Chains A and B, each alone.
Chain A
Amino acid sequence: MLAMNYRGPQRVRVDHKPMPEILHPEDAIVRVTRSCICGSDLHLYNGSVPDTRVGMTFGHEFTGVVEQLGEGVEKLKVGDHVLVSFNIACGKCVFCQQGLYGNCHESNPQATAVGGIFGYSHTAGGYDGGQAEYVRVPYADVSPTVIPEGMDPDDAVLLTDVVPTGYQAAEMGGIQPGDTVVVFGAGPVGIMAARCAWLFGAGRVIVIDCVDYRLEFARKYAPCEAYDFRSLEDPAVFIKRTTESLGADVCIDAVGAEAAGSALQTILGRKLLMQGGSATTLHWAINSVKKGGILSIVGVYGPIDALVPIGNLVNKGITIRANQSSVKRLLPRLIEHVQNGVLDPKALITHRIPLEDVSDAYRIFSAKLDECIKPVLMPSSVRS
């Protein structure tokens, strides 16, 4: 089968790889119908996630048709078209039982700090991902959900990560009616977080980024105020001035390790990899949020330390809430929102690219070429 093959920082290609096999009674083999490239895949692509091994296949946002089932799978049948949450979750451990499906303790031997994630390095379990024609899906009674009848597969594939992550970013913000919410990052997750902030009753939503076409997209899609931080003297001062000098009630970090905006952070976090990514967004968010405010983090960082103004965090009494999204917990509500037209995920998709052109797809997304917001890889089996 054809599959994306990581060859080193900023080098990927498509190769023939062996078909995945059932390795556990609760496994399924899924023929992929759509697979996205996620902003967090770019951390892998740029070589900033430890234990990203050459030869691995990335991809944690995908839909597919069930081709084969292990003998222990009870809820799926061959031929089901499923969306597969990016979390690999057993559904039994103490964390899954509490709804923390992103923190499963039975899916990742290599690290205790993160649960298993498809195609996301050995630090997240060493699973090959969905940027391929076929993929092994463990815990098939838990992670996949049959796509509801009538739902557009383009909507479904974005329910595997982007929508729940954006939604959970807003949810973790504990937004109260009338609150001012600042979202750092106008990538797909940031745009979705801004859109979802309204669902929790935000009174004002502001997005900060530096890519003009994405800011323009956010203004229309979210809809919200959107500003280029390069035109602001200091984002923290700007936020204070625009919020009666007190700061935002809630700040959301939807950027993570690849943040631009500070030469020091860029050199230490992105070029020298001496910290777990560039923490510019965290720095701005801590300094922009109101005293007693809430900082919600869904941006992905590496496992080592990062420079943040911890003193301000303490002195301002900020509550930090952060996690990988718990897709399975959120899906019922989000499916409802999509079916009722409250959310329109597929509008984020700007590029449909053949799986065979995965190298170009990564370049287009990472370099933000051709006004790309969200690229979807299409295997040959679903291309007309």
Chain B
Amino acid sequence: MNDAQTLAVEVVGVEQVTPLIKHFKLAPVGGGSLPVFSGGSHIIVVMRAADRVHKNPYSLLGSPSQLETYEIGVRRMEESRGGSHYMHDRVVVGSRLEIAHPVNLFGLDKIARKHVLIAGGIGITPFLAQLEDLHGGAVPYELHYSVRSAEHAAFLERLRRREGERLHMYHDSEGQMIPFETLLAAQPLGTHVYVCGPAGMINHVINTARSCGWPDSHIHWEQFSAPPVGDVFEVFLARSKISVHVPHDQSLLESIEAAGVEVPYLCRGGVCGFCHTRVLELDGELVHNDHFLSDADKAKGSSIMPCVSRARCKRLVLDL
């Protein structure tokens, strides 16, 4: 995408729902409806801060059939490069933002016989919209939602009210753990599992499901990596013939964009593969933080996902 295709929205609601999570409602500037979307979709929110532009992906958590507003949940990240802090500290009712059209990289499988949804913390957000699609349907489902403690359980009231016995809550503070092994070992054939949460949880679900004999096609996960901070480095863009400085708290993609070079992207979180870029020269090593490239491709070092990955090097030349 590029910025010509964004929609202008106004913040019409802000609510602190847990000590770390704020819930925002966004309405189209000038009224009307927002585009229809499917559960599991995310939008890119463009934040124009004084010193830089942040573009962060957030899952849509409202009902796909209520299109007067989009709803997102934003967790304040401790090691934020600024995006989540901007949303928490600067964005109030009446603020204007730009968003990109929804993209779904985490859709429900339509031929599943049963859905098992597993959420950790802020990972609940994509499931909130999916539950709107599942509710009242013929396919059975259950939701397992793990949080640090009761005060961190965002959106619990709306889940309790509607999901009843299909909701299973786990509080770390009380030593409650999702029983991954027994949960995944006991599912009927044709069940699909979906997990969204911290990296450790996602990896554990994937590994447990595989060891229980689940096919990969039935295991779904989404984790938007915030671009990690890292060493400062320089990159040379071969086709644009310019050098770009990448500061420690700005991603490679953001730095390239700030230099005026457009790179196609969809998720900005290392998931979709859209910003896949060829590495032409490297004197040092790449720091791959994406979930797209295979381990073999990462080891080869001939390409990089600039949305989340970086380099520790003296010289990096990209085919841009």
Q: Do A and B come from one complex?
A: no
Q: Which chain A residues have a beta carbon within 8 Å of chain B's beta carbons? A: none
Q: Which chain B residues have a beta carbon within 8 Å of chain A's beta carbons? A: none
